[in-house]
Amino acid sequence: IKGLDLTTIREEFPVLDQQVNGKPLVYFDNAATTQKPKAVIDSLVSYYSSYNANIHRGIHTLAEKATAAFESTREAIRAFINASSTEEIIFTKGTTESINLVAATWGKENIHKGDEIIVSGLEHHSNMVPWQILAAEKGAIVKIIPVNANGELILSDLNNLITDKTKIIALNHVSNALGTINPIAEVIKIAHSKNVKVLIDGAQAVSHLDIDVQKLDADFYAFSGHKMYGPTGIGILYGKKALLEEMPPYQGGGEMIKEVTYASCSFNELPYKFEAGTPNIADAIALKASVDFINKFGKQAIREVENQLLEYATQKLSAIPGLTIKGTAKEKVSVISFVIEGIHHQDLGILLDQEGIAIRTGHHCTQPLMGHFGIPGTARASFAVYNTFEEIDRLEAGIKKAVKMLK
């Protein structure tokens, strides 16, 4: 592989150095969650073993240290996505909570009976169900941007889908099921020309693509720490300040208030208005180590490695008789979703696990998309910066062996 020094990168990931079912682990389930570099693990251990304290209100030294570390992640994330202010960076549990926050607050205020919400046909359930729930509550309608046979959005239909009832378009930057990179800049431009807001689900984009929320002009951008080499249980909602200011709070509790009396309360400033209760301090702090890890190489270099893996794997896998790759978009990240004639994806997944190879099988939380393709699910191999050509050779051999056994 050209570009980065893979040997040293792999050494940063302790989990990769192990045998699974008697074989060296091949981890190809990166779209579900990436592995964590030592720096992230060390950050968690260091927080809990040397400065664990609750943040923001404490005046003692540990509380000040924890607060500074927590807030320095907020600044690192601001820079990572080029938001204009840390007031626009809200800590959440993850992408799912970020999207639910917008549906429950912005949606509560702005979606009314007969209004329309547009989502794409490629959405993860977490960017579909919150809008369906909101629509049912409000008597609104959810419309779908259609998908072509390659797994790309049919954008020419978007102009017809948008009406004067359309309030928001919610779509992913990258499809988790297929790897398709969606033309979100174009969608945002079209939407804004019609005064429609746009929420981007960036869960699958953050570890692969450069993100500049100002250049994109995204209204909301949601993502999870655990898909960018960071911890689980921590995620981000970016929102434009003007929108966040108008939105009601998500949850009530400590931290999000300015003043409370027995009779009433007033709310804190951004971003704290949306961060009720003690946040996930440890994982927020460790998220900075994952941002630093990505920045150390740069997304460009990471993408070059991943593109080589994608190209190599696409060639190898598509040469296997009976195997069809689902999702052949021109613009893709390093995800290969596939089906094999006469073989259930789950059986394949179990046999590959016997070879120490971890892939994902199933509907990938995109049941509507699988329904569109007329299949119950796929097998999905997704690559990260620490994967190698040799591992792809093992996947190819593993699939061939499984096919022989199952047919």
In the complex, the residues that contact ligand PMP under the rule CB under 6 A are 94-96, 124, 126-127, 172, 176, 201, 203-204, 224, 365
Q: Give me the least distance between CB of 99 and ligand PMP, in Å please.
A: 7
C-beta closer to ligand PMP: residue 107 or 235: 235
Q: Do 349 and 338 meet the contact criterion of CB atoms below 8 Å apart?
A: no
Q: Phi/psi of residue 405, each to 5°? A: -70, -35
Which residues does the annotation mark as catalytic?
365
The conformational region for residue 224 under phi > 0 = left, psi -120 to 50 = alpha, else beta, is beta
> Residue 281: which of 32, 126, 58, 105 has the closest Cα?
58
Cβ distance to ligand PMP smaller for residue 9 or 365: 365
Distance of CA 176 to the CA centre of its chain: 8
What tokens were used for 190? 């079209």
> Which residue's CB is nearer to ligand PMP, number 86 or number 207?
207
CB of 116 to ligand PMP, least distance (A): 22
Beta carbon of residue 58, minimum distance to ligand PMP (angstroms, whole number) = 29
306-337 core/surface letters (b: 16 or more CB in 10 A; e: else): bbbbbebbbebbeeeeebebbbbbeebbbbbb
Q: Which is nearer to ligand PMP, 126 or 280 (CB)?
A: 126
Distance CA 335, CA 345 (A): 16
Tokens of 346: 């789950």
CA distance 371 to 355: 30
Least separation in angstroms between CB 213 and ligand PMP: 17
Nearer to ligand PMP, 224 or 387 (CB): 224
Q: Are 118 and 169 contacting, i.e. CB atoms less than 8 angstroms apart? A: yes
Identify which of residues 181 and 351 has a Cβ nearer to ligand PMP in the complex: 181
Q: What angle do CA 367, 370, 373 make, to 5 degrees?
A: 155
List the one residue out of 126, 218, 125, 129 whose CA is nearest residue 169.
218
